Amino acid sequence: MAKSAMIEAMEYFGVSDTEALMRVLEEQHDEGRCEATDGRVVEPDDYCSHGEPSWLIKLGMI
């Protein structure tokens, strides 16, 4: 069974609850940059050059 995107994101960012994850993502969004799922830095509503989405896109927040 595949992991949910939320669990994947929590593991990726090293946080243990959704509130902490939301703080990280909100901080990145406010800075105008976000990590893509492969670790590259992209705009919050963008994909990296390899086609990986920002975490905000993957989580369906944008």
Other CB atoms within 10 A of residue 12 CB: 14
pLDDT tens per residue, range 12-48: 999 999 999 999 999 999 999 999 999 999 999 999 9
How far is residue 14 CA from its own chain's centroid? 12
In this predicted structure, the answer to whether residue 2 has a pLDDT above a threshold of 70 is no
In this predicted structure, the answer to whether residue 1 has a pLDDT above a threshold of 90 is no
pTM value is 0.90
User: Hey, is 53 helix, strand or coil?
Assistant: strand
**Residue indicated by tokens 């492969």:** 38
Contacts of 10 (CB under 8 A, 6+ apart): 16, 17, 18, 20, 21
Q: Domain coordinates of the chain in residue numbers?
A: 5-58
